Chains A and B, each alone.
Chain A
């Protein structure tokens, strides 16, 4: 079975190569080829999953060593795969949701002349993402890590003729690159500390080195995770990334790629377990981001940006859980999977709405769409219920567990984190209800003469239905008999957290928070008509609309500062470094200009100097004799 692992990555990679190099001949069939290969990857994943289920819990991890990649003295990087329960979870999520989104894109991108290329990029993304979760060492993970970054860059900027899209793509890549610096430093630290950077030897020997080193490695890994998962302070790219086509937002910027940071931290669990300081930073980042994203999500009128804020916030939950150590890893991944279902579903729903509304993204220009798009309404609604944690749906189970685990951290920290998580749950309910109300309820605020909302084609609705199904039932299934926790336990370990109050109390508090959020949104957006032009809003609203001014800070400090710096350096290079050289050259030039006056071209003056020279020579000779 091991040899099948390569196929997981190979199939979409082949698709990418064929679609991107194939030329216009494939324009008519390319999207089917891409979808087929994504599905092939999913089927292989299922086969491997079935095989894995057939084995004992401890025997489930599979390894496949392909070839030696970079062998230089002690530095031995291999290309090898490791498929354990954690990777398996991701493989199924990525290839499953990926296939659905391929199907969806067939309809969504139907009228785009570059649809073949779009599918090529999607396949490239799948290959890179699968490589990321299947790699058995950090350096190969890094390849996948940057590979998804590249695919994300290409897909955000897919409509390159729009300068905003091109800028957003560049921004995403650059911010991610900052995170990548962290990852590469982490790998270097691992190499100098452990002499290797393969998962198994590194994670097994964490006990043999100092806590300081582990903290440093952990913090660098966290930096990488912040970049990829859009966590504070590297979150600024995610909102802009919504410039990409909606299926991209669903697949990359909601369900899979942005969760890679959580994967990285969970995968490196042993390092964080041994470095409590690093863990503290992880939970802090998670808690801050979950509030940050939620607040931003409340203020955005662009449906995709509101969802992007929500994604940030939900990943904050996962980070928070991952930072809690063995009491949280399993829940982080569980929330990651359920989030993959409902957030992808929500984005696809948003795409479907935009598809029917002439690509309008401003929710203030929606309203009352439930009658026109019944399927979208129902699937979006189920996703909505799941994300706010409506009891019984996926999000309820996964989020509730995280809140419980946050309280279980113990002490003041536990109380602070738990409160943050609860607060986040309330705000989530608020902004998601707002999205729901603005889009599907209330009066229609669009011009019926220009806009004719309609339900999307079957290729788009079917994936939405499948994802809605997942949003409803996945959480319940995972929770049943602690299925999910037991599944992951061999990889991530598991400890039962003990919150200072009973589990029922936490659940009750969560439900109360949910109700407060929903009611608040209902009072503001459900009871009275919504203005088409956004009101000025409070100071906080205005700040939240601008991503809490973080972008402005970046602009002033990094962009403007950088521009001045580069301009100054260009000037210096020209004037100072080159100036010194040119100055030297010029002074030699001036000297030789004076000397050359002697060469006046008159033969007779040359003759004089010759005779003069001869005379001097003779005189000198005689003088020497005399002495």
Chain B
């Protein structure tokens, strides 16, 4: 039995979460440092996964498999492919920054270091973030549908408390309204995702029934099902497959989120603190798009193809609609949320374009969107903490008083609008090319929306950062050391991955070949070659 690297990678943050939560009330600072070091250890483990992963090797590597609920064929099966590997790395990478950015977010709830206090919100905040990390990591690693489902759903619980319990205090109508909005957002988040999850549960059970019926023995193992499909042992009836696909897809579309299931995201991201908002959009939501790529396409290739036209249209609507609504927002966090909806449209477009470029692009998009949104949102969070307002109209002329902050905000914004030279450009262009080569009209429409992205980013920047210095902005301090430690590496990474994404594409490409072979698709050949 070799060293169970994957289990350990998921277990470390889980254990860290418990340990952090158990820290005494008075040891707030120790709890923070403990959580941060746990997240750094996780990052190290994720890096080890990346290093140990051999892109040229088997599809799933570092696999672990143990029976779990033998009666129902549920196994504890972990394995990592190229797509999972980079997403685990993204998660492990972002969490330390999220912790660092949210260093003081839970201090106010704690009400200072009074001796004898038994209420430990700081410990809770940090522990919950680590718990989410553990669950997200295991969802990326699971190769058993049931195992995946459990953690896909379970991560709602810590997220619910993070949104509802540690929200943003800044609100134009005072703290009471903020608290009301916060619980509304938390409940909305929970209900949306639970609804999706329960429909998926039905489909998961349905899948078990189908396998039990056809293979003699029910199984949830992704590999077993894919292999059985490939060998012809397992043949789903068209309608069954479509229904099961819809069940899975609905849950992922809520999580992703896809128009018209998106309205929970602006609420959740607006009311949560900036680091938690990053956790939602950059980490948790990625499970949705990841799962579309792995489960929808992998388990139900024919149904995926059947649904493609509708999904593409919805994704296009998401892209355009998210961007347009973003332009009209008055609240900068909601603006970023709608921008994310637009970006998720791109990811889904890439997934359902079913070309190498589309799939590689979508995977890279998940990573790059994570980093760029983290950069933009966290800087916005620093800004909001300083001014105590989320309204764009309350800002103006920030670059005069805090040039470094404004610069970081601009870089984050430019990444969001996919400026060439920064990482998101690569993924966006790949998605566009991948879509265009199969569906030219869709590709052209999607390409035209890059104007809208520039619009919302530049309008946001112009209104907040330029112009005469507004009253409340005067004397605003520039980024502090802790904040610089968050922003600088993210920006460096955006530039590095924009210039040299090869390390990532090398890992992702072989995995994409596998997903394409799942759906039995080939890239369209260029005209000139086709003519030959």
Contact = CB atoms under 8 A, between A and B. Distances in A.
Q: Give the size category of B's interface with A.
A: 35 or more
Contact of B356 (A75, A162, A189, A196): A75
Contacts of B329: 570
A195 B324 contact: no
Nearest to A565: B324
A166 B436 CA distance: 35
Given A194-B527, A566-B328, A567-B328, A72 B430 contact: yes
Contact of A73 (B420, B421, B467, B523): B523
B505 A192 contact: no
A173 B467 CA distance: 17
B236 to A, nearest CB: 29
Interface stretch (A139-147, A322-330, A475-483): A139-147
A191 B523 CA distance: 12
Contacts of B173: none
B531 A208 contact: yes
Secondary structure call for the B interface = helix
A184 B263 contact: no
A169 B461 CA distance: 11
A185 B527 contact: no
A170 B451 CA distance: 12
A75 B430 contact: yes
Contacts of B400: 160-161
A177 B453 CA distance: 10
A142 B329 CA distance: 31
Interface stretch (A296-304, A351-359, A573-581): A573-581
B263 A195 contact: no
Interface string A542-582: 00000000000000000000100111011001000110010
A191 B433 contact: yes
A174 B451 contact: yes
Chain A: number of interface residues, binned into ranges: 35 or more
Interface in A158-174: 160-163, 165-167, 169-170, 173-174
Given A71-B502, A160-B466, A188 B432 contact: yes
Contact of A195 (B440, B458, B529): B529
B517 to A, nearest CB: 13
Contact of A67 (B260, B399, B500, B531): B500
B467 A160 contact: yes
Contacts of B425: 143
B237 interface: no
A566 B324 CA distance: 5
Interface string A126-165: 0000000000000100110111001001000100111101
A187 B188 CA distance: 42
A569 B320 CA distance: 11
Contact of B450 (A70, A145, A181): A181
Interface in B498-532: 499-502, 505-506, 509, 512-513, 523-529, 531
Contacts of A577: 259-260, 262-263
B467 A166 contact: yes
Interface stretch (B15-23, B108-116, B369-377, B441-449): B441-449
Given A161-B466, A569-B325, A173 B263 contact: no
B360 to A, nearest CB: 4
B429 A139 contact: yes
Contacts of A20: 407
A142 B443 CA distance: 18
Nearest to A162: B467
28 contacts: A69-B499, A72-B509, A73-B360, A146-B420, A161-B466, A163-B468, A165-B466, A166-B462, A166-B467, A167-B462, A173-B458, A174-B454, A177-B450, A177-B451, A177-B454, A181-B451, A184-B450, A188-B447, A191-B436, A191-B526, A192-B437, A192-B527, A194-B526, A196-B526, A209-B528, A565-B324, A570-B329, A573-B321
Given A181-B447, A569-B328, A577-B260, 17 more contacts: A71-B509, A72-B360, A72-B505, A74-B356, A75-B357, A147-B420, A170-B458, A181-B451, A185-B444, A187-B433, A192-B436, A209-B527, A210-B527, A569-B325, A570-B325, A570-B329, A581-B188
